[in-house]
């Protein structure tokens, strides 16, 4: 069975029903409350075209599900999974995840927070399966969307998936940290990979007032670009876990046993966020003392400023008492 041409009858009916259910789940999450136009976009763009196969299960012992399986029950499991509100592992090398299709409700929240308007030019860093680029292209038009990825296998498959869905945005094979200057200037940049610093090349390719939305330290930061040397913004409330930019491995900081911070709670997650954000400027004990002293701050109290050759993360205010230098890219 060609996943781009689902059989008439049961398979196509199942795809339509599964997509409708996914839209209901995303709507219930409140992801697009600020921009309900995205509902129609998610209704229109079929996710299964972008995940002809994916891996189910843990990192070890993953099971590969694919839409061309001769077994009907396996196809149905693949199709239902394609429309689950869950991330899907799409490329695994040597036991390591290198590419995935993000959780749809998180994608919807990020797209709504991006704040696109008709006529905006958008650069996506991290092409992945092409699904996010298709959503943007449906909303804005192919000519306004550029997506870039370092891996030629990823960009080639993204092009195929996009074409199958009837979209032809510009797909570039290259280093996302360098942006795509020949396609700029951009009104919006959205990254689907985790940063450790904000690439200066992005700022230089943005129009004044542009918005950059990117995963950073298990959170999402929304920056407003003033010019090629300056950008600033705060973190959103939501958590976000993505593969690192350019596939680099960023180990999670080790946290010693802290009895007052139960494992796997929201507060424990917020403490890990602080450790990841400061990138070694604070050891765990120093970070914990600060965290307790400042009433266990939520993500929205943190932000990032880029100014000239300096970049730093901060708590509450860019010029306040708590600031931590970040590497420059």
Instruction: Round the CA-based radius of gyration of the chain to a whole number and report it.
Output: 20
Backbone angles phi, psi at 50, to 5 degrees: -100, -5
Angstrom distance (rounded) from CA 25 to CA 319: 41
29 carries an active-site annotation: no
Strands 145-149 and 170-173: parallel
In the chain, helix, strand, coil percent, each to 5?
Answer: 35, 25, 35
Are the C-beta atoms of residues 203 and 189 closer than 8 Å to each other? Answer: no
Angstrom distance (rounded) from CA 181 to CA 272: 35
pLDDT, tens digit only, all 329 positions of the chain: 455 455 445 568 889 999 999 999 999 999 999 999 999 999 999 999 999 999 886 555 578 898 988 988 989 999 999 999 999 999 877 777 778 899 999 999 999 999 999 999 999 999 999 999 999 999 999 999 999 999 999 999 999 999 999 999 999 999 999 999 999 999 999 999 999 999 999 999 999 999 999 999 999 999 999 999 999 999 999 999 888 886 444 444 444 444 444 445 778 889 999 999 999 999 999 999 999 999 999 999 999 999 999 999 999 999 999 999 998 76
The pTM of the full predicted model, rounded to 2 decimals, is 0.90
Backbone angles phi, psi at 212, to 5 degrees: -115, 125
DSSP line for 94-122:
TTEEEEEEPPHHHHHHHHHHHT--TT--E
Phi-psi region of 267 (alpha: psi -120 to 50; beta: other; left: phi over 0): alpha
Give Dmax over CA atoms of the chain in angstroms: 63
Task: Give me the catalytic one of 34, 69, 99, 239.
Answer: 99
């Amino acid at each position: 069975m060609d996943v781009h041409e689902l059989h008439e009858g049961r398979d196509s009916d199942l795809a339509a029903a599964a997509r409708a259910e996914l839209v209901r789940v995303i709507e219930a999450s409140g992801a697009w409350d600020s921009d309900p136009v995205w509902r129609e976009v998610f209704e229109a763009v079929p996710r299964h075209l972008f995940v002809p196969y994916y891996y189910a299960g843990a990192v070890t012992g993953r099971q590969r599900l694919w839409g061309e399986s001769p077994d009907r029950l396996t196809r149905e499991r693949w199709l239902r999974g394609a429309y689950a509100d869950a991330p899907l592992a799409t490329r695994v090398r040597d036991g390591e995840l290198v590419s995935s299709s993000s959780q749809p409700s998180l994608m919807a929240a990020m797209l709504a927070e991006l704040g696109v308007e008709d006529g905006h030019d958008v650069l996506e860093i991290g092409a992945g399966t092409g699904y996010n680029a298709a959503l943007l292209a449906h909303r804005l038009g192919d000519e306004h969307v550029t997506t870039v990825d370092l891996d030629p296998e990823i960009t080639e498959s993204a092009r195929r998936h996009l074409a199958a869905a009837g979209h032809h945005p510009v797909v570039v094979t290259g280093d996302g940290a360098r942006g795509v200057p020949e396609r700029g200037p951009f009104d919006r940049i959205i990254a689907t990979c985790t940063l450790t610093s904000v690439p200066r090349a992005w700022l230089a390719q943005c129009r004044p007032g542009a918005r950059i939305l990117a995963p950073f330290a298990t959170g999402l930061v929304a920056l407003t670009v003033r010019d090629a040397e300056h950008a600033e913004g705060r973190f959103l409330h939501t958590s976000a876990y993505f593969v690192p930019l350019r596939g680099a491995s960023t180990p999670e900081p080790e946290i010693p046993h802290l009895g007052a911070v139960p494992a796997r709670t929201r507060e424990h997650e917020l403490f890990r966020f602080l450790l990841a954000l400061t990138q070694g400027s604070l050891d765990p004990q120093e970070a914990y003392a600060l965290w307790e002293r400042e009433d266990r701050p939520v993500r929205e109290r943190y932000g990032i400023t880029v100014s000239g050759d300096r970049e730093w993360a901060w708590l509450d205010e860019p010029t306040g008492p708590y600031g931590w230098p970040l590497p420059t890219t």
